[in-house]
Amino acid sequence: MTAVRKPNGVVRILGILTMVAGGIFLVAGAVTWGAVSSNLKDEKITVSPDAAHFGGSLVDTPWEAFSQADIIKHHALTATDGKTYSEIGNDLHAIEAANPDATKAELAENADYAKATALRTVVMNGSFLRASLFTSVIAFGVAALVMGLGVVFGMVGYAITRCPAAAKVTAPAALV
């Protein structure tokens, strides 16, 4: 029967430290996931009923946040007949160019200018909301990555603590 050798002291300590780091990563990732989920839940955002997925659900997971961001984009583009913030800005600049002597107050009285300004605000708000939701999706992803790294560190640390000690090598007597 072969005896299993324990790793030497330094290797064993490194293995234990790696497992501890893994545990810290796992806990930190889980706390981050929970904090992001809790903060989203506190905002009381619900996924729009006409979203492709999770309609009516409270946003507290990355999948629900992504679904809500997607439907916000759809609603904003629907409101503007498919025009983006930049395209509406171009429309506003065209109206301003067509009325070079008009003051801001006079432009505000122009129905097309007022409508484009209102639509631009809708798209801008939608963009801000989407960016916030995507930030939370990224935070969930980073939390999951950190938890995964914690598991990997834990497994590597465990494996290191189970490594046998190096065998002593002795030179043949003729070479000594």
Q: For the segment 66-90, what is each residue's pLDDT rounded down to a tens digit?
A: 999 999 999 999 999 999 999 999 9
Dist CA 164 CA 171 (whole Å): 21
Q: Please give the average per-residue pLDDT across 165-171, as a whole number.
A: 67
Residue 139 CA to residue 62 CA, distance in Å, equals 9
| Domain extent at residue 15 | 9-162
Residue 146 lies in a domain: yes
Number of folded domains that form the chain: 1
9 pLDDT band, cuts 50/70/90, is confident
Look at residue 7 in the predicted model and tell me its pLDDT.
66
- Is residue 59 pLDDT above 90, yes or no? yes
Residue 108: the pLDDT is 87
The pTM of the full predicted model, rounded to 2 decimals, is 0.78
Residue 175 lies inside a defined structural domain of this protein: no
33 in a domain, yes or no?
yes
Give the torsion through C-alpha atoms of 104, 110, 116, 120, to 10 deg: 30
pLDDT at residue 43 tops 80? yes
Residue 143: is its pLDDT beyond 80?
A: yes
Residue 100 has pLDDT above 60, yes or no: yes
On whether residue 1 sits in a domain, the answer given is: no
23 domain-assigned: yes
The beta strand positions in the chain, using DSSP E, are none
